[in-house]
Chains A and B, each alone.
Chain A
């Protein structure tokens, strides 16, 4: 019995494992080699083993830490904003959605647009002379902030990301909210609980797991942000909007420091792996 289960387990895991090995096996091996070698585009075939030099280079590179800080801040802020907005919209609009389900379709349009194109769209929308937003601000108030200038660029990219991906959080929360058994709500209303109290006592605890899932996915996606920032403002004046992905991309392709880019990617992956493993261990401890 045990050995049959063993065979079955192997069979169940094999499609994914084989697929990963087939596509990423060779790239992973080669990338690990590159990570510990001095490699440029000309020496792809003759990497020179250099031990931990690439890792020292990365950790000693202020731009790497700047990028890590940017990604961390960006990921945290956008994840929290999106989840707060998404949750508020989901709970408040739930009756409307129940009556008219098509409204959901309209609300999720932004996340269907390619992030790279969204970046381009904002370049036009926010342009002081050709963009509608500054146009109306000038018309109505005679003034418009410089959305992409050094003072506001971080807020602008945060806002752009938030507006595009709030629908994702909204959708998760809406479904979680709708799946709360109606008996629970009715029982609470019979007891005379007011809407706000109903939310905090009944609905919020039931939606909490979804909140964590949403925060996690949105944080990862915010942390690895690339397309929309890159098309909107590039790596920013003085590198001020360099996210981790942009840092790795530029180190890799623009500067041709392949080994260093790999080392950064390996560090990023290990950190993420440890964090996730730690998170899993903590949640498992909390639910005995």
Chain B
């Protein structure tokens, strides 16, 4: 048994290195000085420096990365929770009662294939009337729409996984629908709910175009704020600073993913097996 695990360690290491190569390389670049970036493209850092991170993390009247992080946290939080809230009851109705299976379900799922940015103009008009432009709530609402298809897919599969007998038994005991849903089905779906939340949060955190269109100053999210640090189409491009800001911007979803990885692995069982 032992030697076969060794071989697996090697495969693991190679897979991690290859798949994460751009990430590793960016991490290395973030610790190089501007001069070294243009001189030394290798993965070896001659004189490591925290200069780039200092540039990114120092606040000024010009750029405040903590604002962007906070905006993204709130907006992505809304964008991850709201789809679960609205999709969960329907998911149960779809599986157990066939409600909306013919039209509503494929309609929502197919939203994933559309570039939703084509709705930018009407959404902009609506938000401007409603005072939602440049607010975290407004951005969060749109991110919720973006996440809705995957949330519905994962939750439908999760409900379908729950053995029918458990619900039958509860029904026999005379449990009414709300009790059945929130006391019995919801806890059983917990792993899928967590998965959906994590995927949703990461997707929402990483969204760029709506963040660009719907915010100007107060609610600017991290992805848009990050691009302020490296003007790729003009000015001097500082790859070191760009790398540092990418590292900082990726840390919160990374932390969330790592903390909850056990949940991810545990819950997709429920989410995926029944097509």
Contacts and interface: CB of A to CB of B under 8 A. Distances in A.
Q: Touch between A and B in complex, CB under 8 Å? A: yes
Interface string A226-246: 110000000000000000110
A176 B208 contact: no
Interface string B90-118: 10110001011110101111101111011
Contact of A27 (B99, B115, B123, B268): B123
B99 A265 contact: no
Contacts of A18: 86
A138 B248 CA distance: 31
A65 interface: no
B135 interface: no
Contact of B243 (A8, A124, A178): A124
Interface stretch (A56-64, A114-122, A146-154): A114-122
Contacts of A80: none
Contact of A19 (B86, B232, B242, B266): B86
A146 B55 CA distance: 33
Nearest to A17: B104
B162 interface: no
A252 interface: yes
A47 to B, nearest CB: 11
Contacts of B258: 105
Q: What band does the interface of chain A fall in when counting residues whose beta carbon is under 8 Å from B?
A: 35 or more
Contact of A109 (B20, B110, B122, B141): B20
Contacts of B110: 269, 272-273, 276
A213 B272 CA distance: 7
B177 A107 contact: no
Interface string A203-244: 000000110111001001101101100000000000000001
A104 B8 CA distance: 13
B5 to A, nearest CB: 6
Q: Would you call the interface of chain B mostly helix, strand, loop, or mixed?
A: helix
B104 to A, nearest CB: 7
Contact of A104 (B18, B43, B152, B265): B265
B16 interface: yes
Nearest to A94: B8
A5 B5 contact: no
A114 B272 contact: no
Contact of A226 (B8, B19, B115, B254): B115
Interface in B220-268: 223, 226, 232, 239, 242-243, 246, 249-250, 253-254, 257-258, 261-262, 264-268
A113 B121 CA distance: 28
Given A13-B90, A19-B86, A125-B25, A178 B269 contact: yes
A267 B154 CA distance: 26
B85 A175 contact: no
B107 A273 contact: yes
A276 B25 contact: no
A269 B113 contact: yes
A258 interface: yes
Interface string A254-276: 00001001100100110011001
A12 B272 contact: no
A121 to B, nearest CB: 4
A130 B262 CA distance: 38
Contacts of A133: 21, 25
B250 A113 contact: yes
Interface in A78-128: 89, 92-93, 95-97, 99, 101-118, 120-122, 124-125, 127
A227 B209 CA distance: 9
Nearest to B9: A96
Given A132-B42, A252-B117, A273-B106, A175 B269 contact: yes
A145 interface: no
B194 interface: no
Given A19-B86, A124-B25, A124-B243, A24 B254 contact: no
A16 interface: yes
A168 to B, nearest CB: 9
A45 to B, nearest CB: 10
B18 A163 contact: yes
A223 B113 contact: yes
15 contacts: A18-B86, A19-B82, A27-B122, A27-B126, A96-B8, A107-B15, A114-B208, A130-B37, A175-B266, A175-B267, A175-B269, A176-B268, A253-B120, A258-B121, A283-B275
